[in-house]
C-alpha cells in the first residue's frame, strides 16, 4: 500500500494502475487554489444537529446543498458557492489527470466534513474510525467504482487515515463470511426487501453486487478480528494536501482531523486499465456467478 505523488499532472497509465491496485495518489499541496474566503465560509459552517447527516453534501447536477444547520450559516448562498466552486475545480482537475475515467464517469456528490473525527459519537455502522470499504445505500453502482478526491482545509491539523490491504487481498479471506454466496444466489434480492415499499425504488436498482457491498461495509466494521488483525497503514495528510483513492477497493478509516472537502465520481468498470482490478470482478471470480 503506497502513497504515490504524481510528478506531472497529466494522464499516465501507471497512475491509473496505481489507483486500481489500491494505492493513494497524493498531492502535497492542493493542485488548484481555494481562496481564503471560501475556506473561511466552509470552516464556519456547522452540521445540522437535528438530522441524520454525517456531512454537508453538494449535488452538482442540481446545484443544491444539504446537511447544514441553517442557524449556523449566515449566508447559505455563499456556502453553496464555495461548494460549487470546489466541485467544479475538483472535476476539472480529475479531467486533466484521469480523462480515461472521466469520459464515462457519473458525477456524484461533493461533501464537506466539518466535525472533528476523533472521538465522534456515531452508531457503529456510521463510525468513520473503523476500517471499511464504501458502498452507497441510496446510489447503487452495479459494479462501477467509487473514486474520491479529498482536500484537507484545516489551517493547522493533519487528517489521519488508516488503510488496509485492498479488495484483491481482502475478499478471498472475508467475502464468504460476509455472505457472498448468499448474495449471488438471489439475483433480485431477498423477498422481504422487494416487498418493502419504502425501499422499493432503490432496492429495485440494487444488483447482487450492491447488496453484497452494503453488507460487506457493515460486516468489516463489526468484525473485531478483522479490525485488530488486519495489516494497517497510517497516513497523515497535512493542511492543504489532497489525495484520491478508490474507496471501494481500499479499506479505510479516519482517525482524526476536521474540515475535509471531497468530490466523488463513479467510474465505469469498463474504463479501468485492468478490469480485473474491479471489486465486482474479484468477487465474481470467488463465487463463480454474475453479480450485476
Ligand atoms: Fe468511507
pLDDT tens, residue by residue, 153-180:
999 999 999 999 999 999 999 999 999 9
Does the pLDDT of residue 51 top 60, yes or no?
A: no
Grid cell at residue 52: 441524520
What integer pLDDT is reported at residue 190 of this predicted model?
63
User: Residue 266: which residues within 8 A CB-CB, separation 6 or more?
Assistant: 105, 106, 108, 139, 141, 144, 145, 146, 147
* Whole-number Å distance between alpha carbons of 34 and 147: 21
The reported pTM is 0.94
Residue 127 alpha carbon to ligand 1 centre in Å:
9
Residue 145 alpha carbon to ligand 1 centre in Å:
13
Residue 183 alpha carbon to ligand 1 centre in Å:
22
Query: How many Å from the N-terminal Cα to the C-terminal Cα in the chain?
Result: 28
CA atoms in the 13 A half-sphere facing the CB of 51: 13
- Please state which of the ranges 76-80, 123-127, 147-151 shows the lowest mean pLDDT: 123-127
Residue 132 alpha carbon to ligand 1 centre in Å:
6
* Whole-number Å distance between alpha carbons of 235 and 245: 13
Average pLDDT score, the chain: 91
Which neighbouring-strand residues pair with 256? Answer: 160
Question: Considering just the CA atoms, what is the radius of gyration of the chain in Å?
Answer: 19
- The CA distances from residue 171 to 82, 149, 278, 284, in Å, are 39, 24, 12, 11
Residue 292 alpha carbon to ligand 1 centre in Å:
22
Around ion ligand 1, residues with a beta carbon closer than 5 Å are: 134
Does the pLDDT of residue 219 top 80, yes or no?
A: yes
Residue 124 alpha carbon to ligand 1 centre in Å:
13
Residue 58 alpha carbon to ligand 1 centre in Å:
17
- Local confidence band at 256 (pLDDT 50, 70, 90 cut-offs): very high
What integer pLDDT is reported at residue 50 of this predicted model?
52
* Whole-number Å distance between alpha carbons of 133 and 169: 13
Q: What is the DSSP string of 15-34?
A: HHHHHHTT-EEEESS-SS--
Residue 201 alpha carbon to ligand 1 centre in Å:
24
Residue 134 alpha carbon to ligand 1 centre in Å:
5
Grid cell at residue 43: 470552516
Residue 5 alpha carbon to ligand 1 centre in Å:
22
What integer pLDDT is reported at residue 172 of this predicted model?
97
Does the pLDDT of residue 4 top 90, yes or no?
A: yes
Residue 248 alpha carbon to ligand 1 centre in Å:
8
Q: How many CB atoms lie within 10 A of CB 102?
A: 19
Taking each helix axis from N to C end, the angle separating 36-43 and 76-97, rounded to the nearest 10 degrees, works out to 120
Sheet holding 24-27: strands in order across? 3-4, 24-27, 242-246, 145-152, 260-267, 106-113, 56-59, 64-66
User: Residue 138: which residues within 8 A CB-CB, separation 6 or more?
Assistant: 202
Residue 243 alpha carbon to ligand 1 centre in Å:
14
Amino acid at each position: 500500500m503506497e502513497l504515490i505523488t504524481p510528478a506531472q499532472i497529466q494522464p499516465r497509465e501507471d497512475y491509473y494502475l496505481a489507483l486500481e491496485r489500491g494505492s493513494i495518489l497524493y498531492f502535497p499541496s492542493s493542485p488548484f487554489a481555494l481562496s481564503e474566503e471560501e475556506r473561511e465560509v466552509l470552516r464556519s459552517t456547522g452540521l445540522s444537529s437535528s438530522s441524520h447527516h454525517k456531512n454537508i453534501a453538494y449535488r452538482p447536477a442540481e446545484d443544491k446543498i444539504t446537511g447544514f444547520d441553517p442557524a449556523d450559516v449566515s449566508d447559505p448562498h455563499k456556502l453553496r458557492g464555495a461548494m460549487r466552486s470546489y466541485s467544479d475545480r475538483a472535476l476539472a482537475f480529475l479531467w486533466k489527470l484521469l480523462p480515461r475515467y472521466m469520459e464515462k464517469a457519473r458525477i456524484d456528490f461533493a461533501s464537506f466534513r466539518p466535525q472533528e473525527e476523533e472521538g465522534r459519537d456515531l452508531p457503529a455502522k456510521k463510525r468513520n474510525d473503523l476500517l471499511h470499504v464504501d458502498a452507497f445505500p441510496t446510489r447503487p453502482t452495479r459494479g462501477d467504482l467509487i473514486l474520491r478526491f479529498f482536500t484537507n482545509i484545516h489551517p493547522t491539523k493533519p487528517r489521519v487515515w488508516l488503510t488496509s490491504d485492498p479488495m484483491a487481498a481482502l475478499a478471498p479471506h472475508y467475502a464468504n463470511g460476509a455472505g457472498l454466496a448468499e448474495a449471488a444466489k438471489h439475483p433480485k434480492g431477498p423477498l422481504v426487501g422487494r416487498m418493502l415499499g419504502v425501499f422499493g425504488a432503490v432496492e429495485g436498482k440494487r444488483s447482487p453486487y450492491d447488496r453484497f457491498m452494503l453488507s460487506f461495509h457493515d460486516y468489516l466494521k463489526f468484525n473485531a478480528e478483522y479490525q485488530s488483525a488486519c495489516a494497517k497503514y497510517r497516513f497523515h495528510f497535512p493542511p492543504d494536501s489532497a489525495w484520491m483513492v478508490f474507496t471501494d477497493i481500499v479499506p479505510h478509516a479516519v482517525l482524526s482531523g476536521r474540515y475535509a472537502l471531497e468530490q466523488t465520481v463513479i467510474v465505469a468498470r469498463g474504463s479501468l486499465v485492468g478490469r480485473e482490478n474491479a471489486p465486482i470482478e474479484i468477487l465474481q471470480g470467488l463465487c463463480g456467478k454474475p453479480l450485476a
